Structure 1
Amino acid sequence: MPTMQQDTLRRVLFEAVSLLARYHLGSVIDSLLQKRLPMDSDTVELWRVLGRKFFVNQLLRVLMEKLKHSGNDQARTSSAKPEADDHEAALEPLKITRAIFEVVSTLQTSEAVQRLLPELLPVLLKQISATLGKEMPFPQFSSQRKLFLKGHTSDDNPCRLSLETLEAVLRTCLDGKWLWLLRKQGAWAALEDPRAHPDGVGLLTGVLLRAGTISLPVVLVLTQWLDAPSANLRLMAAAFFAELMKEPALQEWRCFQPILGALAEKTQDPSSTVRQMAARGLGNLVSGAPEKLRKHKGAVLEALRRGLEDMASAEVVAESLLALAKVVDELKGKAVGSTFKDLAKATRSFFDAEQASLRSAAFTLYGVLAASATRRWRSFFTEELANTWASLVLHLRDPDPGASMACQGALRLCAPFLGLRRVRQGIAVNTWLSAAELQDDICSQLAQESPEHQQALYIATRRCFLRSCVDLQAAALDIAGVLVEHAGTEWLTGEEAMLLSAALRVLRGDGDPRVQQAAARLLRATGLEQPPRRR
Structure 2
Amino acid sequence: MRKTPMKQLTQCPAQRYVEKLNALRGGTPTRLLIDFPARRYVLHKNKHTEKLSKEVSEIIELIYMQLHLVKIDEVRTMVLETMRALAHHHQDKVLNSLLMKPLPFDKDTSDLWRSLTDEPSYSCKVLRFLMVIINEENELTLRNSLSFTDDQPAAALMPLKATCAIHEVLQAASSHAAIQELVPALFCTLLAEVSQTLGRRVETATFSSRRRRFRRATTLGDLNPCSLAVDALQCLLSFGNTQMASVKGSDETEGWTLIKNIERHHEGVMQITRGLIVSKGELIKDVVHCLLPSLSSDSTTWRVTGTAVFVELMGHRILRGLKLLKKLVKDMKRKSLDPNYAIRSMAIRALGSVSYGAPDKSESSWADGILQRSVRVVI
The verdict on a shared fold, with TM-score over 0.5 as the criterion, is yes
What's 2:261 paired with? Answer: 193
The amino acid of 1:52's aligned partner reads: D
**Which residue of 1 is the match for residue 296 of structure 2?**
227
Aligned pairs for 1:36-115 (under 5 A) are 36-54=102-120, 55-71=122-138, 73=140, 90-115=156-181
1:255 alignment counterpart: 324
CA contact (8 A) 1:113 1:172 kept: no
Kept in 2, the 8 Å contact 1:110–1:172? The answer is: no
Instruction: Please list, as runs of the form range in 1=range in 2, the aligned pairs for 1:253-332 lying within 5 A after superposition.
Output: 253-291=322-360, 292-307=363-378, 309=379
Q: After superposition, where does 1:36-435 map in structure 2 within 5 Å?
A: 36-54=102-120, 55-71=122-138, 73=140, 90-138=156-204, 148-149=217-218, 156-174=223-241, 176=243, 178=245, 184=252, 186-210=254-278, 211-291=280-360, 292-307=363-378, 309=379
Moved over 4 A (4+): 179-183
CA distance in structure 2 between the aligned counterparts of 1:183 and 1:67, rounded to whole angstroms: 31
TM-score scaled to structure 1, two decimals? 0.51
Contact 2:237/2:243 (8 A) holds in 1: no
Q: Distance in 1 between matches of 2:316 and 2:190?
A: 23
Task: Provide, for residues 388-430 of structure 1, a one-character-per-residue CA deviation record: whole Å limited to 9, x for no partner.
Answer: xxxxxxxxxxxxxxxxxxxxxxxxxxxxxxxxxxxxxxxxxxx
TM-fit CA distance, 1:135: 1.3
Q: Which amino acid aligns with 1:102?
A: E
Q: Distance in 1 between matches of 2:297 and 2:319?
A: 21
Distance between the aligned counterparts of 1:215 and 1:38, measured in 2? Answer: 32
- Tell me if the contact between 1:129 and 1:236 (Cα under 8 Å) persists in the aligned partners: yes
* Contact persistence 1:118–1:218 (CA under 8 A): yes
Query: Shift in Å at residue 3 of structure 1?
Result: 3.2
Contact 2:355–2:368 (CA<8 Å) still a contact in 1? Answer: no
Partners in 2 of 1:288 and 1:148 — Cα distance? Answer: 55
Equivalences for residues 429-508 of structure 1 within 5 A: none
Q: How far did residue 286 of structure 1 move?
A: 3.4
Give me the identity figure in percent: 30
1:148 to partner: Cα distance: 4.0
CA distance in 2, matches of 1:266, 1:18: 48
**Counterpart residue type for residue 207 of structure 1:** G
Provide, for residues 372-397 of structure 1, a one-character-per-residue CA deviation record: whole Å limited to 9, x for no partner. Answer: xxxxxxxxxxxxxxxxxxxxxxxxxx
CA contact (8 A) 2:99 2:162 kept: yes
Residue of structure 2 equivalent to 1:447: none
d(CA) in 1 for partners of 2:126 and 2:268? 30
Q: Contact 1:199/1:239 (CA < 8 Å) preserved in 2?
A: yes
Q: Distance in 1 between matches of 2:266 and 2:244?
A: 23
For structure 2, the 5+ residue unaligned runs are 1-66, 143-152
User: 2:244 & 2:193 partners in 1: Cα distance?
Assistant: 25
How far apart are the structure 2 equivalents of 1:305 and 1:272? 16
CA distance in 1, matches of 2:323, 2:369: 21
Counterparts of 1:195 and 1:110, CA distance in 2: 37
Q: Distance in 2 between matches of 1:201 and 1:213?
A: 18
* Aligned partners of 1:64 and 1:123 also within 8 Å: yes
- Residues 1:149 and 1:103: Cα distance change in structure 2 (over 3 Å): same
| RMSD (Å), alpha carbons | 2.9
Moved more, 208-217 or 241-250: 208-217
Determine helix, strand or coil for the equivalent of 1:284. helix
Q: Is the 8 A contact 1:267 1:276 kept in 2?
A: yes
Higher relative contact order (CA 8 A, sep 6+): 2
Residues in 2 aligned to 1:248 and 1:108: alpha-carbon distance in whole angstroms: 31
- Measure the CA separation in 2 of the matches of 1:185 and 1:41: 27
| Contact kept? 2:244, 2:276, Cα under 8 Å | no
Report the AA paired with residue 253 of structure 1. L
Look up the match of 1:12.
78
Question: Helix, strand or coil for the counterpart of 1:192?
Answer: coil
Paired residue type of 1:136: V
- 8 Å Cα contact 2:195-2:302 kept in structure 1: yes
**Structure 1 residue 72, shift from structure 2 partner:** 6.0
Provide the secondary structure at the position in 1 that maps to 2:103: coil
Separation (CA, whole Å) in 2 of partners of 1:221 and 1:95: 23
> What code does the residue aligned with 2:257 have?
A
- Bigger shift: 280-289 or 218-227? 280-289
Residue-by-residue CA offset, 1:5-47 (whole Å, 9 max, x unaligned): 3322221110001111112222111110010101121111111
**Which structure has the larger Rg over C-alpha atoms?**
1
User: What is the alpha-carbon distance in structure 1 between the residues aligned to residue 141 and residue 75 of structure 2?
Assistant: 38
CA distance in 2, matches of 1:195, 1:101: 26
Q: Is the 8 A contact 1:245 1:287 kept in 2?
A: no
Q: Classify 1:180/1:306 alpha carbon distance in 2 versus 1 (closer, same or farther; 3 Å).
A: closer
1:325-383 per-residue CA deviation (whole Å, 9 max, x = no partner) reads xxxxxxxxxxxxxxxxxxxxxxxxxxxxxxxxxxxxxxxxxxxxxxxxxxxxxxxxxxx
Change (3 A) 1:48 1:225: same
Cα distance change on mapping 1:71 and 1:252 into 2, 3 Å: closer
Structure 1, gaps ≥5 residues long: 76-85, 310-535
Describe the shift of the 1:258–1:177 C-alpha distance in structure 2 as closer, same or farther (beyond 3 A).
closer
Distance in 2, matches of 1:51 and 1:7, equals: 18
Give the Cα separation in 2 of the matches to 1:74 and 1:193.
21
Q: CA deviation at 1:174?
A: 3.4
Find the counterpart in structure 2 of residue 518 from structure 1: none
Q: CA deviation at 1:293?
A: 2.5
What's the offset of the Cα at 1:180? 8.2
